Amino acid sequence: MKFKALICLIFWQVLALVSFGASGSAAVTCQLALKGARQEIQKNKFITNRSLENYSSRLFPSFRQRMSELKPNDLWIDLGGGEGRAAEEYLQSKINPLEAAQVYLITYVGRRSSILKRKIEIPSFQGKLKVLEGRFFEEIPDQEIPQADMITDFYGVLSYTGDLSLTLRKIFRHLKLHGELYIHSSNMVTSIETSNGVMSLTSFLKSLSGLQVEGQDGILKITKEQEEIKVPPLSLLSSGLNPVGFHRRFQLQEK
């Protein structure tokens, strides 16, 4: 089950942090957390074959129109895109793949192994589809990922990461000025504790300067309105099940 996989992933991240403590090397801690997460993910299953229609019907309403406006020189990054079904369906919708935008599919598990099991050729759509597989988004060097006109995260990286501030900073670095980020998550997955109370992921994103955030309840369209987006540090306090399901608690590190 998806929630089981998410819980296992965060468990390993928290375990690594606890094991090393404040005096441990941050780099080594991160690597151990990712190693543990890999081992647990391989034992569990995510939904890895979401269709483009699923994206269009469940992301922020303007996503469908934005997809139709993508130009050949544009770049779409799909974070946590699984087997890449949505990306492939988009590229297949073009009579000439060269008329489509460039697509970067960032996926940890599912795509290549699933395609190989079906014994079919892995399509590249004349170079329009680039797959970065087998690494978490957080550990991929910036130079491997260009800036994008549009980024999607459909229950992807933002729903499982144990370092939310680092992940958000990286996403915004890879989003062009005036580019758009489409998120489908759940406010029940994430809470952020501050001196003024508890914030949801949606309210936290709306508090960041330089972003236009539309939507609610974790179904968001975010437009980047300034080049540098500052995301304050967040520390993971806990993760696991509560009465309504899987949940992560973060603490805002305030000055």
Cα–Cα distance, 216 to 189 (Å, whole number): 14
- Domain total for the chain? 2
pLDDT surpasses 90 at 222:
yes
Confidence of residue 108 (pLDDT cuts 50, 70, 90): confident
Element (H, E) at 34: helix 26-41
Q: CB under 8 Å to 127, separation ≥6 — which residues? A: none
Q: Is the dihedral of CA 37, 40, 42, 45 positive or negative?
A: negative
Check residue 20 and report its DSSP letter: H
Query: Does residue 120 register a pLDDT over 90?
Result: no
Q: What is the pLDDT of residue 47?
A: 72
What does the mean pLDDT of the chain come to? 81
Indicate whether 19 and 118 sit together in one domain: no
Q: Do residues 41 and 67 share a domain?
A: no
User: What residue numbers bound the domain in which 7 lies?
Assistant: 1-45
Whether residue 212 sits in one domain with residue 87: yes
Length of the chain counted residue by residue? 255
User: pTM, whole model, 2 decimals?
Assistant: 0.81
CA 165 to the chain's CA centroid: 12
Q: Rounded CA gap, 40 and 187, in Å? A: 24
Lowest mean pLDDT among 2-11, 120-129, 181-190: 2-11
- Give dist(CA 125, CA 141) in Å, integer: 25
- Going by pLDDT thresholds of 50, 70 and 90, the confidence category of residue 219 is very high
